[in-house]
């Protein structure tokens, strides 16, 4: 026997997109329930990106979770691109008339949102199993799942699918009702987290003949570094010393001496892919975040794209319930996809310029070099890159 519950919006997934949506809806007086298949500890321990666009920061402020972000986040007014031994700094403030980004880990964003939801005592079901989304083409969709050996059925007006690439929501849409576009890249990123000061105060994206690298950070004392690797790389063969030696060899000589080594506290390999599902709506269910799209991490658009989805979706729900208008709900997929495809283009372009592709010809390599040279000598090209990096308007 299912225990019957009712809500206005059932949110599948307790990652940052699901929690942010829940917080914004609650602030507007809209009932919502969050259902998550993983444990709360697992969700809060996931290591993810950490460069936030100003639009994302504004949305977190609106949700009432910006205090710690503003205390601990690192405001970055620029970043570097290194190409072999050439070096270019992009001055974001100058190129975008005062805009910047903030470095603040996705893990911290999720923690802030989780604590805010708990403080409001909003209903959440972690470790929910056998999750199903049903009756999506009716006015009364429902979510069924098992939690602590009790079967539940939640009737809702709408379902928000914020459950990631491998979640149940997109998988529940009939194949004839959705299109999927994908590009899988022939490499991955080997990343480590270490309690060491960053090699410099701003990020460095680097192209080296041996492969891409990224020098990032989570705080003034915690660094996040990445190296391009093969998709089938054996992480067991990468000792900390091997990682540091390889990274130092790829860094420009003017910076390599600043590298501080230390034991890794996390080490993982992330594959790279571009993916978009269209449309982002099926009946009364809406997809947001990784459930609807994936970008390569080059350029840090993943979390920011999820936030822009939630901007459109939360405003649509608020307009529906508060202003009794449906136009934004009907336009959600189209609006969100316009921004998604622009971010996909930017991430694809930056990935192509900075990575070593095993199938690239000598001609392709010269084009890569020409792309960087053009960027170095064209303020308009720099402005275009900066505009995309700080985030296109919603």
CA distances from 9 to 36, 45, 249, 305 (A): 14, 26, 51, 21
Check 208, 293, 301, 335 and give the catalytic one: 301
Do 206 and 290 share a structural domain? no
Active site residue 389: yes
Decide if 325 is inside a domain.
yes
Active site residue 301: yes
Do 277 and 266 share a structural domain? no
Return the number of other C-beta atoms located less than 10 Å from residue 301's C-beta.
28
For residues 159 and 141, give the distance between their C-alpha atoms in angstroms, rounded to a whole number.
7
Do 178 and 190 share a structural domain? no
pLDDT at 324: 94
> Please, are residues 215 and 82 in contact by the beta-carbon 8 Å criterion?
no
Distance spanning both ends of the chain, measured CA to CA: 45
pLDDT at 360: 84
Do 307 and 217 share a structural domain? no
Decide if 91 is inside a domain.
no
pLDDT at 50: 85
- pLDDT single digits (tens) 250-269: 999 889 999 999 999 999 99
- pLDDT single digits (tens) 114-132: 999 999 999 999 999 999 9
- pLDDT single digits (tens) 163-173: 999 999 999 99
pLDDT at 318: 98
Check 16, 141, 198, 297 and give the catalytic one: 297
Beta bridge partners of 226: 191, 214
Do 283 and 140 share a structural domain? yes
Q: For the whole prediction, is pTM greater than 0.75?
A: yes
Do 364 and 295 share a structural domain? no
Do 18 and 47 share a structural domain? yes
In 3D space, the residue among 141, 184, 155, 157 whose CA is nearest the CA of residue 270 turns out to be 184
Active site residue 297: yes
Do 167 and 108 share a structural domain? yes
Beta bridge partners of 274: 183
Mean pLDDT of the chain: 96
Decide if 220 is inside a domain.
yes
Do 9 and 43 share a structural domain? yes
Do 295 and 157 share a structural domain? yes
pLDDT at 1: 79
CA distances from 233 to 186, 270, 326 (A): 11, 10, 49
- pLDDT single digits (tens) 315-327: 999 999 999 999 9
Three-state SS annotation for 241-290: HHHHHHHHHHCCHHHHCCCCCCCEEEEEEEEEEEEEEECCEECCEEECHH
Confidence of residue 243 (pLDDT cuts 50, 70, 90): very high
- Angle (deg, nearest 10), helices 379-390 and 327-354: 130
Decide if 85 is inside a domain.
no
Active site residue 205: yes
Task: Show the domain range for 36.
Answer: 3-74+104-182+273-351
Active site residue 209: no
Decide if 81 is inside a domain.
no
- pLDDT single digits (tens) 340-376: 999 999 999 999 999 999 988 899 999 999 999 999 9
Check 76, 111, 208, 335 and give the catalytic one: 76
Decide if 158 is inside a domain.
yes
Do 306 and 190 share a structural domain? no
- pLDDT single digits (tens) 202-215: 999 999 999 999 99
- CATH label of the domain that carries residue 215: 3.30.9.10
Do 151 and 54 share a structural domain? yes
- CATH label of the domain that carries residue 117: 3.50.50.60
Check 104, 185, 205, 225 and give the catalytic one: 205
For residues 81 and 148, give the distance between their C-alpha atoms in angstroms, rounded to a whole number.
50
């Amino acid at each position: 026997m299912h225990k019957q519950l009712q809500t206005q919006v059932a949110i599948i997934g307790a990652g940052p997109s699901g929690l942010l949506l829940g917080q914004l809806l609650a602030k507007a007086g809209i009932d919502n329930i969050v259902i998550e298949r993983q444990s709360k500890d697992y969700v809060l321990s996931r290591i993810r990106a950490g460069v936030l666009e100003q639009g994302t920061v504004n949305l977190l402020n609106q949700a009432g979770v910006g205090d710690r972000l503003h205390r601990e986040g690192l405001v970055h007014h620029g970043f570097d691109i290194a190409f072999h031994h050439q070096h270019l700094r992009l001055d974001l403030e100058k190129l975008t008339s005062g805009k910047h980004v903030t470095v603040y880990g996705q893990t911290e964003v999720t923690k802030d949102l989780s604590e805010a939801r708990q403080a409001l005592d909003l209903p959440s079901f972690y470790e929910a199993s056998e999750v199903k989304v049903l009756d999506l083409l009716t006015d009364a969709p429902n979510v069924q799942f098992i939690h602590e050996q009790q079967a539940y059925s939640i009737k809702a007006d709408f379902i928000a699918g914020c459950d990631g690439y491998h979640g149940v929501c997109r998988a529940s849409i009939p194949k004839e009702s959705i299109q999927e576009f994908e590009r899988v890249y022939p490499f991955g990123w080997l990343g480590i987290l270490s309690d060491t000061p960053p090699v410099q105060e701003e990020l460095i994206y680097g192209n080296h003949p041996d492969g891409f690298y990224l020098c990032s950070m989570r705080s003034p004392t915690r660094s996040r570094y990445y190296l391009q690797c093969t998709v089938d790389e054996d992480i067991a063969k990468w000792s900390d010393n091997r990682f540091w030696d390889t990274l130092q060899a790829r860094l420009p000589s003017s910076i390599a001496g600043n590298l501080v080594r230390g034991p890794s506290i996390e080490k993982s390999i992330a594959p790279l892919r571009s993916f978009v599902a269209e449309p982002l709506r099926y009946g009364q269910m809406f997809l947001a975040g990784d459930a609807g799209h994936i970008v390569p991490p080059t350029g840090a658009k993943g979390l920011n794209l999820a936030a822009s989805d939630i901007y459109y979706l939360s405003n649509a729900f608020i307009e529906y319930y508060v202003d009794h208008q449906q136009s934004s709900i009907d336009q959600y997929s189209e609006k969100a996809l316009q921004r998604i495809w622009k971010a996909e283009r930017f991430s694809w372009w930056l990935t192509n310029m900075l990575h070593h592709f095993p199938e690239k010809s000598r001609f392709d390599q010269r084009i890569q070099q020409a792309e960087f040279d053009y960027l170095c000598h064209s303020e308009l090209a720099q402005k275009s890159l900066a505009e995309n990096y700080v985030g296109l308007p919603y």
